Amino acid sequence: MIALLVLALGLGAASGVFWYDAHAMRSDEEAGQEALAAARELAPDLLSYDYRTVEQDLARATGHTTGELAKHYKQLSAGLVAKVKAERTVQTASVADGGVEVAEGDRVEVLLFVNMGTEKEITGKGGRRFQQSKNRARFVMVRQDSRWLVADLSTLIGTA
């Protein structure tokens, strides 16, 4: 009788652990999909700018970031704005695809495949140069309140 009671308690505890693990996995999967959708939406704002609106573009991008990355975008304004205006640079980004690498609660790592276009004036050549490239960007997304923000961003330039 005691053996049956111990067995029942053991099975109950095991099923509780399995339920908790399954619930956590579903929560992480949902968080991953939410973060991926947010990253796909935010990537063009973080990776695009236009010399005519570069200050507003960087301010908008900063609003989608948090922590050290937000500080980086604020510092970026100082050096980038003058160069972008001098070269009359327009950079566009569009997300071609993406996926979740790691999802753990309110922190998700996302890999995006991004098509980039850059147009700028070539000094002394009297014309504009247009360059297209395919890039990969890794975003670390964190949920703050009910909003997903980018806490870290790294790009890997691809050739294909």
- Domains of the chain, residue spans: 2-158
Strand partners, 103: 108
CA-CA distance, 112 to 139, in Å (whole number)?
Answer: 8
CATH superfamily of the domain spanning 2-158: VirB8 protein (3.10.450.230)
Cβ neighbors of 158 (< 8 A, separation 6 or more) are 133, 134, 135, 136
- pLDDT at res. 23: 43
123-140 pLDDT tens trace: 777 788 899 999 999 999
Tens of pLDDT, residue by residue over 99-109, are 999 999 999 99
- Cα separation, 82 vs 29, whole angstroms: 42
> Could you tell me the pLDDT band of residue 49, with boundaries at 50, 70 and 90?
very high
